[in-house]
Amino acid sequence: GDSVTQMEGPVTLSEEAFLTINCTYTATGYPSLFWYVQYPGEGLQLLLKATKADDKGSNKGFEATYRKETTSFHLEKGSVQVSDSAVYFCALSAPGGSYIPTFGRGTSLIVHP
C-alpha cells in the first residue's frame, strides 16, 4: 500500500541554520505530495504541496521539490527561526489509495535562539 517514510527526529538547530527534513514515498499511481505542520497546541495545517514531477511547493520560506526519480519530497528552509519549532508531517494522496491522505510519522524540529 501507499506509505511515507520520514527522517526521525528531533532535529535540533540554532536560529538561522539550514534545515532539511527527508521524506520518501511509495505509492500506486501518480501521487500528490504534501507537507503539513503542527505547532504546539494546534491542529495540523498545510504548509505546501506539489502535484506533479519537478514541481516545487513553497510557503513561509520552506520549499520542497517533487522528485519522481528518487520518490522523494524533502523539506528545506535556508534560515530557520525559533517560531518554526513544530512537528512536520510529510503526506501523499494517490489514486490507489482513493486519494485518502497518508501521513509519515512526523519529524519534530526544535530551533534554539
Q: Which residues bind other proteins (CB under 8 A)?
A: 4, 6, 30-32, 34, 36, 41-46, 49, 51, 89, 93-95, 98-106
Judged by CB, which is closer to other proteins: 29, or 61? 29
AA letter at 73: F
Judged by CB, which is closer to other proteins: 45, or 79? 45
Closest CB 38 distance from other proteins, rounded Å: 8
- In the chain, helix, strand, coil percent, each to 5? 5, 50, 45
> For the range 44-47, what are the long-range contacts, defined as Cβ-Cβ under 8 Å and sequence gap of 24 or more?
44/89, 47/75, 47/88
Judged by CB, which is closer to other proteins: 17, or 38? 38
